[in-house]
Amino acid sequence: MYHNPVLLKQSVDDLVTNPDGIYVDCTFGGGGHSREILSRLSDKGKLFSFDQDLDALKNTIDDPRFTLINQNFRFLENSLLIYGVSQVDGILADLGVSSHQFDEAERGFSTRSNAPLDMRMNVMQGLDAKRVINDYDEEQLADIFYYYGELREARKLARDIVHHRKTKSIDTTEDLKKLFSYLPPHKVNKFYAQLFQAIRIEVNQELEVLKEMLVQAYNVLKSEGRLVVISYHSLEDRLVKRFLKNGMFEGEPERDIYGNYKKAFELVKSKAIIPDDKEIEENSRARSAKMRTGIKV
């Protein structure tokens, strides 16, 4: 099963303002958001959805208004041009890893199952978690754990891994977890969540891909087109928040003599939208979700 779409009504309410328009769902997955978007479109409307995971193709929607593109959303702009589309009315991206990917043990995303170290969203790509853990040097591993997992003990973790793999390859999720069996029980769940997140982000280049998508989204959106992004950890949300504010990921925009700068988007709401208690109770994976919506200036 693919996960229940998070913030379904709120996201599509923000997204669809023109029933005759062209829309993009960057993260098709089980198709929950796509189906809701289609329900809001007229016969003239169009929806293009992206997913690089071959499993997601099984969920395609039989609707003449719908096109499913088997591509990473980092290729958003060029992929749309293939279909003759240069501008769209709205773009939605739900950045969460699907429940399907977590629950398919052999994909190696979950901390709960013993599986090959994989974590590839696109199983056709070369880099997987096993290569990261066994081939990256100590400094590279430490940076990944620190910046992507926000683990303060990143240097020690990297050293432990490099020391262990000198005698035995680390091939499975259980092999990796055994290295840190000395952790106190009350810290285990959070630690493994952060560790696996860090490795997954590196394997799939998630933050770089997100940056590329956001820049292309701005390029293809019409004036007053809408960008809706649902993120699940602070690293993603920070990038989205900064980009919606000034079209940049770091540094400060150039200001005029009055201190004003050219905005990329107007925010629909100044603060992120989060799921209510009822949604979190029904879908625990919604608990860390934050949604931000910008209207292209």
How far lies 171's CA from each of 48, 81, 108, 175, 202, in Å?
38, 41, 11, 6, 17
Query: Tokens at residue 71, please?
Result: 């591509």
- Is 149 annotated to bind ligand? no
Determine if residue 90 is labeled as part of a ligand binding site: no
The answer to the question of whether 73 is labelled as a binding residue is yes
Cβ atoms of residues 132 and 144 within 8 Å: yes
Q: Is 94 helix (H, G, I), strand (E, B) or coil?
A: strand
51 assigned binding-site residue? yes
Query: Is 32 among the annotated ligand-binding positions?
Result: yes
Q: Give the residue from 73, 120, 119 showing the smallest Cα distance to 95.
A: 73
Phi-psi region of 84 (alpha: psi -120 to 50; beta: other; left: phi over 0): left
Distance (Å, whole) CA 97 – CA 107: 12
Q: Is 31 annotated as a binding residue?
A: yes
Measured CA to CA, the distance from residue 46 to residue 20 in angstroms comes to 8
Q: Tell me which residue has tokens 């199983």.
A: 123
Strands ordered across the beta sheet of 290-296: 66-69, 46-50, 22-25, 88-94, 221-231, 290-296, 265-267
Q: How far is CA 291 from CA 85, 98, 173, 191, in A?
A: 26, 17, 31, 25
In a 3-state reduction of DSSP, which class is residue 85?
coil
* Distance of alpha carbon 203 from alpha carbon 130, whole angstroms: 9
Q: Is 71 annotated as a binding residue?
A: no
Task: Identify which of 183, 210, 212 has the alpha carbon closest to the alpha carbon of residue 195.
Answer: 183
Q: Encoding tokens for residue 133?
A: 């853990």
Angle, alpha carbons 27-56-21 (nearest 5°): 45
Binding-site residue numbers are 31-33, 51, 73, 94, 101
Binding-site residue numbers for S-adenosyl-L-methionine are 31-33, 51, 73, 94, 101
